[in-house]
Structures are given as C-alpha cells and as structure tokens.
Amino acid sequence: MEEVTKLHFTRIKSRGDSSFYDPQSDIRVVLPTAVKMTQDLLMQVVPDMATKREFSYLAKCYAIYQIRLMEDSTDMLTQVAEFEQAMNKVKPSTRAIWYETLFTLMNAVYGLFSRRDAKTDGQDIRGMLNTAEQAALLSAVKPEQAADIKEQFRSKGMLYAESPNIDTNGYAVCVETEEVIRNIKQLAHVFIDHSGSDKWNDLAAACDACFENPETAKLDDKTQLAIALAYPSYEHPTLEVETEDVQPT
C-alpha cells in the first residue's frame, strides 16, 4: 500500500529567503516585511471573502514584483508601471485600504528609525528619489505615453543610473521538506516552444502554453513545476504548485 503526501513548491525570489523579521533598517527588508504585515492584518480584520481574495491577489502581485526586480532586466520605470497597472485591477476601495494600511505601517517604522543617528545624504540618494518620483508619475499614464515620457526623462539626465544585479536562475522551495529546486528557468527553457522576444511576459506566455499542453503531463514533477513557476506574471500569478510524494508503506 502506498502513502501519498502532498508537497507544495513555492516560487521564491533570487538571492532571497522566506525570513519574516530582520532588525536592519534597509528598505529592501523593511518594505517587504511591511507588505507581509499588511496582508496578515487585513486578512484577520476583513470578514468579506471577496475582498480577502482581492487582498490575496495584491499580495501575489507584490511577490511577482519582487521576483521580477531580482531576475528580470526590464528597466525600473517599466517594472513599477506594470506592477501598478496589475494592482489597479482590483476595486479602488480595496486598493485604498491596502495602501493606507501599508503606509501606516511604513510611517510607524519611519518614526522609529528617525530617532536613530544616521547619515543618508548625497547625490545617489537624490537621484534615487527623483527616479522614484518619475516612476510614480509613469505608473499613472497610459503605456503608449510612458515610453515617450521615459525617453524625455532619460535624455535630460533626470533618471538614476541603474546598475541591475540580475540573477538569471530561478528558485522554488518545498514548504514541507525545505528542498530548494534551482535553475528552474533554465529547465523550463528546454521544453517551451519559444523564439524571438526574451521579455519576461513573452516567456511567461510560452510557459503557460507549454503547461497547458497535454504532453507536459508526461514530464517528471520537477520539470512540470519549473514550467509552472519559472516566469510568474501578473496575468497568471501562479506562485505555488502541488505534487504528490508517493512512499511505500
């Protein structure tokens, strides 16, 4: 007789882990922590299931944004704009609650860290803040307008010179066993039918088409999960897949 155990593999970002708390004031740690806190808090206090599903969608969008920042070389302005456009698919009232809760948490963290001695001045900081301001502006305009506006910013030297540190690998971790599956993007590339654009969304569409092909079901579990999780997109925010670990008893 065989005992079947369900294993759940979750997509994680490159060079990252799933730790929730870190005392450092680095915004790269503080903001994801605040997003996690926002999700946990709202899921506890909001009774409406439809709204909870929207909050869950927003959390998935942020997780995909994190993954793409670390693995997708698309420029920052486009990344922020696509993220905000995906977030805008839920009701304005839901977004307002989510953003208000997140801002309240971040403002509280800011207040705490403001009481510490710190030096954070200089041209780099001003350039980053300026680029963040332009990104916020571009997220509110139509995609066809964004390219022209972005080029104007770039030609006038108004954008911070990004130095992307992109990891072309992809990772998934098994919740039950903590097994880490590496290089899932490379594995997916072996099986997807794709030529031409190497943009994230195009590769995601190729993976989706491959996963829906009945022939894919004949592949081993790791290959299937690689195809399913290699390129999560806002259109199809798949961040977890389930497999069966069959053990004789």
* Mean pLDDT, residues 99-125 taken together: 72
CA distance 109 to 121: 19
Q: Which amino acid is at 219?
A: L
Please tell me which residue, 57 or 77, carries the higher pLDDT value. Answer: 57
* Mean pLDDT, residues 90-111 taken together: 90
pLDDT at 195 (0 to 100): 77
Question: At 15, is the pLDDT very low, low, confident or very high (cuts 50, 70, 90)?
Answer: low
Angle in degrees, 0-180, between the axes of helices 221-229 and 184-191, rounded to the nearest 10:
100
CA distance 204 to 186: 13
Burial 47-84 (b: 16+ CB within 10 A, else e): eeeebeebbebbbbbbbbbbbbbbbbeeebbbbbbbbb
Range from 100-114, 127-141, 200-214 that averages highest in pLDDT: 200-214
The tokens describing 150, both together, are: 């972005």
